[in-house]
A and B are shown apart, each in its own frame.
Chain A
């Protein structure tokens, strides 16, 4: 299951991770976010040994959302060694996420 991250645990789980991290920034009221949620869950299972997959509710995490300039949702950020390495905005097919994540493995 994708790990829920927020202002409190974001650094611990995402920034300090030794593995590449994919973070799905979403909101309850965002339709396209709900569309990609099952894809994000699938990826979290399939990549459990190689990557960390997290989801961040922007309404509950104003600090993280502001720090990373998350204005568009859904936005998926890909982190490597604590830094943003890639980004995907909008609901796109699973392969688009996998291509970006695989590039960091």
Chain B
């Protein structure tokens, strides 16, 4: 199983997020899952990759050429796919992923997570979408998504697109369960 991780590249955020990223990397490696991520060398991305590698796991980065030229790439990953631009990076990550996990992150992570939700809503991505809600980081977003349902921008059934995990153990547990969502998402895509 290949799991794609979306995560912050900031190195200034609270250490608790970093510890959770490290723990998740260790658990994914121990579970024998292949990891795909944005290829960053620092922040939660860097911590995750270091942890996967130090636990003998496999991790593939997907990074646009310009970020590599800037030296933002992780230098120890198993493989690094160098893409032309940000759009191709995301397409490549989704093409490899059987499931995605969003760790805390900024607008880049948010964009990746909401694209995953959109693709699944449209039946274009079928895997689990797990939000690792360390320290309640995503509470505001979850509340907003619920407001979208209340306001009928989304259907109630769409709440099943994503799953919340409060710890890395819970996230890996959900990945292993790999519960399918509805059979034909497109039948309820139109609201």
Contacts and interface: CB of A to CB of B under 8 A. Distances in A.
Contacts of B158: none
Interface in B142-178: none
Interface string A51-87: 0000000100000000000011110000000000000
B88 A74 contact: no
Interface in A21-54: 27, 29-33, 35
Interface residues of B, number: 15
A90 interface: yes
Contacts of A74: 82
B79 interface: yes
A27 B79 contact: yes
Nearest to B82: A90
A31 B83 contact: yes
Contacts of A35: 84
A71 B96 contact: no
B82 A32 contact: yes
B68 A91 contact: no
A72 B80 contact: yes
B92 A31 contact: yes
Contacts of A32: 81-84, 88, 92
Given A71-B77, A73-B79, A90 B96 contact: no
Contacts of A27: 79
A89 interface: yes
A30 B65 contact: no
B159 to A, nearest CB: 32
Contacts of B186: none
A32 B95 CA distance: 12
Contacts of B83: 31-32, 90-91
Nearest to A33: B81
A90 B68 CA distance: 10
A22 B159 CA distance: 51
Contact of B80 (A29, A33, A73): A73
B135 interface: no
A31 B68 contact: no
A39 to B, nearest CB: 13
Contacts of A71: 77-80
A29 B77 CA distance: 16
A27 B92 CA distance: 13
Interface of A: 27, 29-33, 35, 58, 71-74, 89-91
Given A32-B83, A32-B88, A73-B80, 4 more contacts: A29-B95, A31-B81, A31-B88, A32-B92
